[in-house]
Amino acid sequence: QPDALLRMEEAAGGQSRISEDDYIEGPPELIVEIAASSASKDLHDKLHAYRRNGVREYLVWLVDGSEFRWYVLFEGRYQLQQIDESGCLKSQFFPGLWLDVNALLSGNMAQVLAKLQEGIATSEYQEFVQRLSINP
């Protein structure tokens, strides 16, 4: 069970659906784990299970090491994303989902939210929202 996830409806290009008894069937697009004592499991067993099941993005916060690792599934393998020149990790599947790593690690939530607002102000995000509204 992941700590958090983001998923899209199948009609909008997502891979999962909600069953009649309210369970998620199929892989969500993004899974997030907060790893303290579970870091070994999150970086090995879960990483392999999520890859095998087609989770498109996997974000792990390694609390003890003050590190974030954001993996993106590409041709059946996870590729570790690098922090960009602005200090952010950015979702490949959810345009506009930007994470200011240093601000989050230092507890500067105002900066974390400001960077997210910057991400959702981009034309890529607006196009993404438009695609979602076409495929409700």
Domain range enclosing 109:
4-134
Write the pLDDT tens digit of every residue in 27-59: 999 999 998 877 778 788 899 999 999 999 999
Q: Are 56 and 26 in contact (CB under 8 A)?
A: no
Q: What's residue 121's pLDDT? A: 97
Q: What's residue 94's pLDDT? A: 96
Q: Which of 72, 68, 62, 69 is nearest to 38 (CA)?
A: 62
Quickly state the pLDDT bin for 15 (edges 50, 70, 90): very high
Q: Please tell me the pTM assigned to this model.
A: 0.89
Strand stretches in 36-115, DSSP E: 57-62, 67-74, 77-80, 88-90, 98-100
Write the pLDDT tens digit of every residue in 56-105: 999 999 988 889 999 999 999 999 999 999 999 999 999 999 999 999 99
- Taking the C-alpha atoms of residue 82 and residue 71, their distance in angstroms, rounded to an integer, is 9
* Residue 93 vs residues 4, 33, 35, 45, 83: alpha-carbon distances, Å: 16, 17, 23, 23, 16
On the question of pLDDT at 10 being above 60, the answer is: yes
On the question of pLDDT at 109 being above 70, the answer is: yes
Task: Please give the tally of structural domains in the chain.
Answer: 1
On the question of pLDDT at 135 being above 60, the answer is: no
Query: Mean pLDDT score of the chain, rounded to an integer?
Result: 92
- Taking the C-alpha atoms of residue 133 and residue 50, their distance in angstroms, rounded to an integer, is 28
